[in-house]
Amino acid sequence: MSHIRNAAYSFESVAAVGAGLWTLLERLSAEAIAARGFFVVALSGGSLPATLGDSLPAETTIDFSKWRVLYADERCVALDHADSNHGAAKKALLDKLPVEPAVVATINPALIRNPQAAASYYQARLTALAPAADGISSPRIDALLLGMGPDGHTCSLFPGHALLDVKERSVVHITDSPKPPSTRITFTFPVLNAARNAIFVCTGDNKADMIHRIIDLEEDVPSARVKPTLGKLYWFLDAPAASKLTLPTLTFKL
């Protein structure tokens, strides 16, 4: 997809990806706080929280007191369960930041056995924390941090799944996720494409084939459909993830 080719940055290592991400987040956070008074960040599960948590800058001007943290997808499990995205993010990242627990929007643990209600509850939180703006009717995330699976999924939006076509809801539930655990809630494409900045973070050689298929061969998989309407797209790759690309990537500079 040429929109991805023009957004693909490669870095020599996971640590360099993490350092680049923090540099970008520092700028985006300052811009959002100056414009609107707060910064809305959405985290994904998988390796992302550790990539950020392992590369925290020694010094930063980021005003974490103005952050609002959400999850782009979450598994329907207790917050302290080994499969919880929040649990993993807390341990790998949030506990290392001066972010008050109150600003982190978790799944409602009372609703984990009722995924439809959990999705509705989360949609209401998302709508309150990330207001629609600029003629876009979906909630607007300032920095949407996404991962991609080797099959091209992002959030809990899997290839061929009916959830790819949802237009009227911001958060939906899934009970047949091919990646375990099977029951989750996830942002939908209207929210992904309303983001002010959508930033994919892909590291490791198990991503190399799919990165090649998306960027060189322009295959249509869920991750390739993230194309923010009024926002900016970034794909941050480490060298192993970029190793099968034939087309060139960009060098990240602010």
Residue 84 found at the interface with ligand 6PG (CB under 6 A): no
Asked if 127 and 171 count as a contact pair (C-beta separation under 8 A), the reply is no
Q: How many residues bind ligand 6PG (CB under 6 A)?
A: 14
Please, what is the minimum distance in Å from the beta carbon of residue 216 to ligand 6PG? 20
Q: Which is nearer to ligand 6PG, 48 or 99 (CB)?
A: 48
Distance in Å, CB of 135 to ligand 6PG, minimum: 29
Q: Provide the CB-side half-sphere exposure for 7 (13 A, CA).
A: 22
- 149 sits near ligand 6PG (criterion: CB under 6 A): yes
* Helix boundaries (H) for the chain: 2-5, 14-36, 48-53, 85-92, 115-129, 189-192, 208-215
Provide, rounded to whole angstroms, the least separation between the CB of residue 85 and ligand 6PG: 5
Piece of 17-25, 130-138, 149-157, 239-247 that binds ligand 6PG (CB under 6 A): 149-157
Q: Which residues, 175 to 214, sit near ligand 6PG by CB under 6 A?
A: 179
Tell the smallest beta-carbon distance from residue 48 to ligand 6PG (Å). 6
Q: In this structure, are residues 153 and 147 in contact, taking their beta carbons and an 8 Å threshold?
A: no
Q: Which is nearer to ligand 6PG, 125 or 179 (CB)?
A: 179
